[in-house]
């Protein structure tokens, strides 16, 4: 059974919902859909169908319900939608394999840039695996190119801060991609971005339904920015151009993620991705006997790129995870490691540590480094979650 691409709720075969059009009244807000989406959703009309008690063979026939209802003539079915949040389900969704991934992290931890390069890298990767990454709807195509790609590749300007959902004109809609047929089954990947500011200052419980998807994700990628650690930032200040934007506190975000998920870090896999790894590599050049050796071991797993196009390498990933974990402890990120490995609730979720760099080189001021973009190990967290979810 697949999950809804917006609220990440598991769909079951007892409940179905469809939007209808042609009622002659197009501008009706669906408040539940709006709360889940974090932006206003207008839907003309809706029919909901549920399995009659004890009727195991039941299958929805929305056309018949429409004929039997009071709906005006000319009304017809627009789309099947999720019975929980009323988000449209792409064709064949219920029969496909679906992996839902939520991005999380503090302000300026690198989420948006990560999505921008991830989609490029994944697209190349799928080609080398003999299939193709295809956006399933217009909104995925438009949002990717307007919110992520355009600013990255066309303007060569580093992305603007993602604005919190409610006072934003940017609607953070899910990016939904088809991965093609894998082992005879269609596989879809959903990526959902969030505004770091909201994860640092959680909205009141009644106003955060649009963040609840994180607790139901198959995987959360938590971007941890090493420059959020004072000691690291101090040592790198002459070597890496100063970050223009204020960096948020990752520990606060982790705490809030636990609040959103009743004390756990979600119900799926939890990937801690050390972001901006390129910046950290400059520690080699600091004049400090304690700090310069940290990044000077050329044999370390995380110093090597992964091989292009190969299957997910579980051994390499475990090795890198152990290395990143010790690296985090060395650079002053032990609080994060502890929060993930020994949460207060005592409920540990399957987790792994990764090292990534979206740019490959620190940006200079507000435009990207002249060296261009050479993403580093950005696929690892996603391939891990896909593999664990049985998609690859
Ligand atoms: N050095 C370096 N800086 C990065 C990288 N990714 C993001 N940044 C910097 O971090 C800032 C925030 O990135 P963004 O993706 O907008 O973060 P978000 O707020 O989490 O979405 C950018 O303006 C960049 O300056 C990276 O891979 N390397
Ligand atoms: Mg962002
Ligand atoms: Zn839904």
| 209 close to 118: Cβ distance less than 8 angstroms | no
Ligand 1-lining residues (CB < 6 angstroms): 105, 107-113, 158-159, 161-162, 196, 243, 245, 275-276, 278-279, 357-359, 362-363
Torsion of CA 196, 350, 6, 174, to 10 degrees: 60
Going by the DSSP 8-state scheme, the letter that residue 133 receives in this structure is -
pLDDT band, residue 371 (cuts 50/70/90): low
Instruction: Write down the residue that tokens 């039941």 correspond to.
Output: 58
- The atom of ligand 1 lying closest to the CA of 109 is 20
Distance 151 CA to ligand 3 centre (A): 29
Distance 160 CA to ligand 1 centre (A): 10
Q: What is the pLDDT of residues 191-240, one digit of tens each?
A: 999 999 999 999 999 999 999 999 999 999 999 999 999 888 888 887 77
Q: Is the pLDDT of residue 306 over 80?
A: no
How far apart are the C-alpha atoms of 337 and 328, rounded to whole Å?
A: 7
Distance 13 CA to ligand 1 centre (A): 42
Q: Is the pLDDT of residue 157 over 60?
A: no
Residue 155's pLDDT is 43
The residue whose CA has the least distance to atom 19 of ligand 1 is 108
Average of per-residue pLDDT across 88-105: 97
For domain 96-388, the question of CATH label 3.40.50.300 is answered with yes
Residue 236's pLDDT is 85
Q: What is the pLDDT of residues 264-297, one digit of tens each?
A: 999 999 999 999 999 888 888 888 888 888 888 7
Q: Which residues pair with 15 in a beta bridge?
A: 50
Average of per-residue pLDDT across 85-91: 96
What does pLDDT average to over the chain?
A: 89
How far apart are the C-alpha atoms of 282 and 279, rounded to whole Å?
A: 6
- The atom of ligand 1 lying closest to the CA of 376 is 27
Instruction: Write down the residue that tokens 């040592």 correspond to.
Output: 235
Higher pLDDT, 286 or 122: 122
The residue whose CA has the least distance to atom 5 of ligand 1 is 276
The residue whose CA has the least distance to atom 26 of ligand 1 is 276
Distance 258 CA to ligand 1 centre (A): 24
How far apart are the C-alpha atoms of 146 and 113, rounded to whole Å?
A: 13
Query: How far lies 324's CA from each of 172, 327, 355, in Å?
Result: 30, 5, 7
Q: Is the pLDDT of residue 355 over 70?
A: yes
The residue whose CA has the least distance to atom 12 of ligand 1 is 108
Q: Is the pLDDT of residue 60 over 50?
A: yes
Percentage of the chain with pLDDT > 70? 91
Distance 325 CA to ligand 1 centre (A): 21
Average of per-residue pLDDT across 158-184: 77
Residue 237's pLDDT is 82
The domains of the chain are located at 15-81, 96-388
| Tally of CB atoms within 10 A around 332 | 14
| 88 close to 81: Cβ distance less than 8 angstroms | yes
Going by the DSSP 8-state scheme, the letter that residue 157 receives in this structure is B
Query: How far lies 4's CA from each of 186, 189, 353, in Å?
Result: 16, 11, 27
Kindly tell me the burial class for residue 358, based on how many C-beta atoms sit within 10 Å of its own C-beta (0-12, 13-18, 19 or more): buried
Q: Which residues pair with 222 in a beta bridge?
A: 104, 272
Q: What is the pLDDT of residues 130-149, one digit of tens each?
A: 999 999 999 999 999 998 98
Closest ligand to the CA of 242 = 1
**Mutate which of 105, 106, 109, 110 for ligand 1 pocket (most atoms within 8 A of beta carbon):** 110
Average of per-residue pLDDT across 314-342: 93
Residues lining ion ligand 2 (Cβ < 5 A) are 111-112, 162
**Mutate which of 113, 151, 197, 371 for ligand 1 pocket (most atoms within 8 A of beta carbon):** 113
Residue 103's pLDDT is 97
| Helix residue ranges per DSSP H, 129-281 | 138-143, 196-200, 230-236, 250-260, 277-281
The residue whose CA has the least distance to atom 24 of ligand 1 is 158
Closest ligand to the CA of 86 = 3
Going by the DSSP 8-state scheme, the letter that residue 357 receives in this structure is B
Backbone φ and ψ of 223, nearest 5°: -80, 120
Distance 391 CA to ligand 1 centre (A): 29
Residue 70's pLDDT is 78
- The atom of ligand 1 lying closest to the CA of 103 is 20
Closest ligand to the CA of 8 = 3
Closest ligand to the CA of 168 = 2
Supply 61's token pair: 């026939």
Side-chain half-sphere of 202: how many Cα atoms within 13 Å? 19
Q: Is the pLDDT of residue 71 over 50?
A: yes
Q: Is the pLDDT of residue 317 over 90?
A: yes
Instruction: Of 235, 230, 216, 249, give the one whose Cα is nearest residue 336.
Output: 249
Supply 300's token pair: 């370390």
Torsion of CA 337, 165, 122, 81, to 10 degrees: 120
């Amino acid at each position: 059974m697949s999950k809804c691409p917006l609220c990440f709720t598991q769909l079951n075969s007892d409940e179905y919902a469809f939007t209808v059009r042609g009622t002659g009244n197009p501008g009706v807000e669906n408040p539940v859909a709006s709360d889940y989406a974090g932006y206003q959703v207008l839907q003309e009309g809706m029919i909901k169908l549920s399995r009659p008690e004890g009727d195991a063979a039941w299958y929805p026939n929305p056309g018949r319900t429409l004929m039997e209802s009071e709906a005006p003539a000319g009304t017809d079915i627009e789309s099947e939608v999720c019975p929980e949040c009323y988000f449209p389900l792409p064709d064949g969704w219920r029969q496909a394999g679906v992996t839902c991934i939520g991005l999380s992290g503090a302000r300026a931890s690198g989420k948006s840039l990560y999505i921008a390069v991830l989609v490029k890298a994944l697209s190349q990767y799928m080609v080398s695996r003999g299939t193709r990454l295809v956006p399933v709807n217009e909104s995925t195509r438009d949002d990717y190119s307007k919110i992520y790609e355009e600013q990255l590749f066309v303007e060569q300007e580093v992305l603007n801060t993602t604005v919190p959902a409610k006072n934003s004109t940017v609607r953070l809609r899910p990016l939904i991609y088809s991965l093609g047929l894998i082992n005879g089954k269609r596989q879809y990947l959903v990526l959902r971005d969030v505004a770091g500011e909201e994860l640092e200052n959680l909205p009141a419980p009644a106003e955060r339904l649009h963040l609840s998807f994180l607790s139901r994700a198959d995987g959360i990628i938590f971007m941890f920015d090493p420059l959020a650690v004072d000691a690291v930032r101090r040592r790198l200040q002459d070597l890496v151009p100063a970050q223009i934007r204020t960096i948020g506190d990752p520990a606060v975000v982790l705490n809030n993620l636990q609040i959103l998920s009743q004390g756990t870090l979600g119900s799926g896999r939890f990937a801690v991705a050390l972001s901006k790894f390129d910046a950290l590599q400059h520690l080699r050049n600091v004049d400090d006997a304690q700090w310069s050796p940290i990044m000077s071991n050329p044999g370390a797993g995380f110093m090597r790129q992964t091989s292009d196009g190969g299957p997910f390498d579980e051994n390499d990933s475990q090795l890198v995870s152990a290395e990143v974990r010790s690296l985090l402890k060395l650079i002053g990120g032990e609080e994060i490691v502890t929060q993930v490995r020994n949460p207060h609730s005592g409920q540990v979720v399957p987790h792994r540590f990764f090292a990534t760099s979206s740019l490959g080189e620190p940006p200079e001021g507000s435009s990207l480094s002249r060296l261009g973009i050479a993403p580093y190990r950005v696929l690892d967290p996603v391939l891990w979650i896909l593999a664990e979810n049985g998609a690859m």
